[in-house]
Amino acid sequence: MSFTRMDQGRTDDWMEIGKEVAKRQSNMPLIIKSMLRQLEEQLDGFAINQLQHGLQTATRAVRDEASEEMIVAALCHDIGKVISVDNHPAIGAEIIKPYVSHETYQIVRTHQDFQGKHYYALMGKDPNARSRYENEPWFEMARKFTDEWDQTSFDPDYETLPLEYFEPMIDRVFSKNTIKLSANQ
């Protein structure tokens, strides 16, 4: 690259940078799989580790005949915990945002408040935190996602599909080329 400061860049420099970023971004399925494997180290006091929890949530989605995108969202909904448990819904939602629908993005972004129905009261928080989303078109899907798949998936005895089962789905969902030559540097 010829420039050492952005204000000296030329259009062809940025075209080249865009190409390089797109090339690296094509590794996204590998990055997601590696982040999911990191979740295996996180038990955080639960009966199963966070990878197993994601696999179990996704397995329930498979058995409920959810769409492939929703299955992958179920698998990845807690992926943000690799960075921070506190704000993991926002981190996870932003990671998957370029690859999924607005509805799926919102379900991952808000899933903790939906989960709150089942444990917020124990912590002095509002168990009806989900009610603020009542008028959203994705509310029912988010309810199903958390009440039927996510909050039930801490069971060491549940027959859970392995990561290998989901890998082709990860490959398909995260292979979309999302890179536009833009001002996102």
* Closest to 59 measured CA to CA, from 184, 139, 153: 153
Closest CB to Fe ion among 3 and 46? 46
Q: Which one of residues 48, 61, 145, 150 is an interface residue with Fe ion (CB under 5 A)?
A: 150
Count H helices and E strands in the chain, helices first: 8, 0
DSSP codes, 52-101: HHHHHHHHHHHHTT--HHHHHHHHHTTGGGGT-STTHHHHHHHHHGGGS-
CB of 149 to Fe ion, least distance (A): 9
Scanning 60-68, 87-95, 117-125, 147-155 for contacts with Fe ion by CB under 5 A, the matching segment is 147-155
**Are the CB atoms for 81 and 39 separated by under 8 Å?**
yes
Residue positions counted in the chain = 185
Scanning 23-31, 73-81, 85-93, 176-184 for contacts with Fe ion by CB under 5 A, the matching segment is 73-81
CB of 65 to Fe ion, least distance (A): 20
78 sits near Fe ion (criterion: CB under 5 A): yes
CB of 110 to Fe ion, least distance (A): 12
Closest CB to Fe ion among 78 and 113? 78
For the chain, the distance separating the N- and C-terminal CA atoms, rounded to the nearest angstrom, is 14
113 sits near Fe ion (criterion: CB under 5 A): no
CB of 134 to Fe ion, least distance (A): 21
